[in-house]
Chain A
Amino acid sequence: MKDMKEMTYKDAVKLAMCEEMRRDENVFLMGEDVGLYGGAFGVSVGMIEEFGEERVRDTPISEAAITGAAAGAAVTGMRPIVEIMFMDFTTIAMDALVNQAAKMRYMFGGKAKVPMTLRCPGGSGTGAAAQHSQSLEAWFCHVPGLKVVVPGTPADAKGLLKAAIRDDNPVVFVEQKTLYKEKGMVPLDEDFIIPLGKGEIKKEGSDVTVVTYGRMLPRVLRVAEELEKEGISVEVVDPRTLVPLDKELIINSVIKTGRVVLVNEACKTGGFIGEIAAIIAESEAFDYLDAPIVRLAGLDIPIPYNPRLEAAAVPSEEQIRAGIMKVMNR
């Protein structure tokens, strides 16, 4: 295994794409401004120079067309990576994604494969207002045939994106805008793959389990470290992929601690942590719960443009702390 290198989340995503494109000529990237401009968030800067216009394709402003083209390319043997500039715009790509890409393998009796990866940055925190700040991962989780990945660290971003590109099914890969500049140690090994469906305990603990992913992960970890000093031992579980979900990891952790707090940025109503809550309640872990499950999620409102209101719309470190204290009866 090669060395580790400190790099940003954004560079880890790029590294994963570059490695896979070097490894497999069928892998290519397309999206709005991914070529000459290097992507709206600069993820693909420099890639057009290495791989050329054929493999790093600038597209017209039509998410429906891009995603439809990708589904078609995938079914004919290519392994496209699509970048949708903001996750909010996947709504325009929904028919191609939900009705075509997700269904084809099933409807052709397994004869068709759709190895496409749809990358999209989600979440608020950049002052981009209601139409550019949503966390819509639960929409995709509700569609059988799609896999959904939300990495919370640079290393996970690399390992999971490589797994997504190599997967023969359509994968929605939700990047986190506010994490793009977060740094972390990333393995340089080209075979470093994190299998989809395998979560990770980011911090071991014994008093309470916090399940979280994506943008909320660093916040939860900071709170957990603080609480550790105050004598509360928090276990932080990151499922990393929502579909397929590492249920066993979550259930075992809850059995261990007997208390669980679920945190995500997305709106509370219909959010994916509601699904996790139901899975816990249905499982063996039920008999070990020693307090009601606590959910911390975004407010059920469009994300405000005002920066203070924007910040107040999603769980803060103070709120995460308060939620953990609540489940601990402290």
Chain B
Amino acid sequence: MIMLRDVHKRFGSQTVLDGVNLDVQEGETLALLGPSGTGKSVLLKHIIGLIRPDSGTVVVDDEHVGKLKRKQLAALRSRIGYVFQNGALFDSMNVLENVRLGITDGDKYRNDEYATQRVAECLKLVNLAPEVVAKFPAELSGGMRKRVGIARAIAGSPKYLLYDEPTSGLDPVNADVIDSLVKRLDNELGVTSVMVTHDVRGAFRTADRLALLTGGKIVQQGSQEEFLKSRNPKVQEFLERDFPDATFAA
């Protein structure tokens, strides 16, 4: 379980997170919605310990992320797969080496036979042809880079998957492919997922639960139905463009 309590974060004079409270239950897929630049990615990076909060607590599997020592943090990260917005693939490595780095168990990582087989499995899961292993990131399209990023994130068989804007910058067809992929992976692998996005329709297609981050706070979290019935003007404003026919509760 992932739990954030009263998390505050400032960068210089800019307050990004202003008392965030959020729970992610085991096995569910939570979509974290919000306008661009509201700190969704910052919040996601708190969960994996890439950013530490100024105050408040981030707890993953009963471990306080901010208080973990180097090795403990590495162990926690090996249970979390993180899909970066632009893939964040290593330029100097081909797809095989990139995905292989996702195998977090040291012995398995060094076992060539296992690693090659695992990379092939992961690429198959994200609908990429086996021939792609020899290509370098610069030779891949945006959609393929995202899928390789997802393959790398699942290579270590993580318990949690964190997606940072998995469909941003993609055309609608490719965005739908990624959304379906996220949904399928969540079902097939049984992972707990948090997906940061500002694509409301995609979030409704893939997530069990939604949360809206705006003004540094989670202003609403709940099921899709609860969102559609919400009286919160910020929720209504955010959903209006994608669901113009929705009848928000008066």
The answer to whether A and B belong to the same complex is no
Which B positions have Cβ atoms within 8 angstroms of A? none
Which A positions have Cβ atoms within 8 angstroms of B? none
